[in-house]
Amino acid sequence: MGVLGIGIMGSAIAANLVKAGFQVIGYDPLPAARAALESAGGLAVSTPEHAIREARCLILCLPSEAALCEVSRQIAAAGRDGLIVAETSTLPIPAKQQAADLLSARGITLLDTPLSGTGAQAVTRDLVVYASGDAAAVEAMKEVFDGFARVTYNIGAFGNGMRMKLMANLLVAIHNISTAEALLMGQRMGIDMDLAVQVLADGAGGSRMLQVRGPAMAAGTWDEATMKVSIWQKDMKLIAAALADANVPAPLFSACIPVYNAAMGMGHGESDTAAVYDVLEKMSALKR
């Protein structure tokens, strides 16, 4: 199995594939990421072309449209007729479609397969695959997806995976900030923060973001990112564009935007998005 991009998500995917019994070959431009793959039992290579040549299928975990454009050209140049490529990144549908068309001309199938879940969830194999594209290729990749994800849904036509992912991320954007609001409220009222996370997660107001990011907010620790605020800004822009295209009013999502922007302005670009708690805490003008 080839994994191109072994950062926060890709490294966890690769490690779980190794645990599931797959031989994994991976590439990342960062030496530390390649070293981590070797430590997990995979084979790290110094060029993406090496992984593209050797892998029986590829998983892409990329940070940008530019990266997808470059990698898709490299895959096309390899001329691997029959190769299946699963593109897991959160990127614009037109960019993915352009890559799919380029690869299709070389007999290569690109699937749009974004993932629902944080980096922490990826470590514990608690990811959901939103698979879209060629149905036979999705079925052929099912065993691979099972190696790093909890469940796979076939969403249908190419691009529907990203559409579902944007819907999911809209909810994540809101739930993340509502978690911070509730926990800050509890702190100000003298409620034990760890107890609040446990109790709220077990009730009607619970959410996956409360479970995943609540503990970090309670502890005030967001330096170890499972989703960097800077990368999340890309996702926020994609959601906003999709809402505008669909002519959908989204007052709650719109209210979230300045909070994430403030996190960037406060120097939290490399922090986990749990850092929105720090934004609200400082807005309250009170110290812990």
Tell me the CATH number at 251: 1.10.1040.10
Output the pLDDT for position 288: 55
Task: Report which of 251, 282, 255 is spatially closest to residue 268, judged by C-alpha positions.
Answer: 282
What domain range includes position 136? Answer: 2-158
Indicate the number of domains in the chain: 2
* Tens digits of pLDDT across the chain (288 residues): 999 999 999 999 999 999 999 999 999 999 999 999 999 999 999 999 999 999 999 999 999 999 999 999 999 999 899 999 999 999 999 999 999 999 999 999 999 999 999 888 999 999 999 999 999 999 999 999 999 999 999 999 999 999 999 999 999 999 999 999 999 999 999 999 999 999 999 999 999 999 999 999 999 999 999 899 999 999 999 999 999 999 999 999 999 999 999 999 999 999 999 999 999 999 997 665
Two tokens, residue 127: 């990811």
Annotated active-site residue in 165, 234, 237, 287:
165
Give CA separation, 205 vs 88, 158, 196, 260, in Å.
Answer: 30, 34, 11, 22
CATH number at residue 18: 3.40.50.720
Chosen domain end from 158, 173, 208: 158
Output the pLDDT for position 137: 98
**Positive or negative torsion for Cα 45, 17, 122, 143:** positive
Shared-domain flag, residues 233 and 125 = no
Catalytic residue check, 96: no
Shared-domain flag, residues 153 and 173 = no
DSSP reduced 3-state for 156: strand
**Positive or negative torsion for Cα 263, 217, 182, 235:** positive
Q: Which residue has the tokens 């001329």?
A: 79
Output the pLDDT for position 271: 97
Shared-domain flag, residues 75 and 38 = yes
Task: Report which of 172, 120, 92 is spatially closest to residue 9, judged by C-alpha positions.
Answer: 120
